[in-house]
Amino acid sequence: MDFRYTEISLNPCTAFPAGVELKRPLLDVLLRNGKRAVSLTAMVDSGSDFCIFPASFAKALGIALPTGKSITFTGSADRPQVAHFETIQVAIWNENREEDPISFDVYAGFCDSVEHVGLGILGQHGFFSQFKVTCDHTNEVLTIT
Amino acid sequence: MKAFNMTEVLKNAPVGEWLALSPSKDRIIASSPDLEVALNAAKELGEDNPVMMKAPSPYALVL
């Protein structure tokens, strides 16, 4: 299934005096836990070990934190971060919704410290481990098979 | 395949707030610093399955 990249503009700064048009491999994903479901935009991130979502989505899905299944990890921030894990269901459609969604279970982490990012993160364990993912930046297309 | 451009829809979005976007992501239905407030506001406005994301800072690169 093919997905268009998403383009977002950043304001000029000293590093990019003319601003910069970022093209990101973003997907809209439906997260489900039993009868509760919520959609969000998620970044396909081959550099992330796990699939991580902002902690507020746990509450929206009826998952009480802490779950008792946690891990401490590090990212670009200079401090340890804690993610609380639970198995949820994920569905991904492309924008025309003409094909059946890609649906899968994922053991995902929910983390306060990615709240400010405002995106889900689809990483190696649980996403790349289940699919062949091709990020074609030149042609601005992401393919999942 | 050309990238989907969100520049216009995000241009006046409240930075740092949760946005409830239409499924086609061409308009902001509701926003709030609180995810569930934004979700519920969108549902009250008739959109049962908004796509949630935070309005990015104009300077925010994601690493």
Q: Are A94 and A84 spatial neighbours (Cβ–Cβ below 8 Å)?
A: no
The full DSSP string for A61-96 is: TT--S--S-EEEE--SSSS-EEEEEEEEEEEE--TT
The letter for the amino acid at A46 is S
| Domain tally, chain A | 1
pLDDT score of B62 = 61
Contact state of A6 with B3 under an 8 Å Cβ cutoff? yes
Among A118, A104, A111, smallest CA distance to A41 is for A118
Of A8, A116, A141, the CB nearest to B10: A8
Where along chain B do its domains lie?
15-54
User: What's the CATH code of the domain at A11?
Assistant: 2.40.70.10
Contact state of A119 with B3 under an 8 Å Cβ cutoff? no
β-strand pairing of A52-54 with A102-111: parallel
Residue B12 — pLDDT band, cuts 50, 70, 90? confident
Report ipTM for this prediction.
0.91
Range of the domain at A95: 2-144
Q: Check pLDDT > 70 for residue B60.
A: no
Contact state of B55 with A118 under an 8 Å Cβ cutoff? yes
pLDDT score of B58 = 61
Contact state of A95 with B24 under an 8 Å Cβ cutoff? yes
**Distance, in angstroms, between A28 CA and closest chain B CA?**
7
**Overall average pLDDT of the B37-61 stretch:** 88
- Residue with the bigger pLDDT between A44 and B57: it is A44
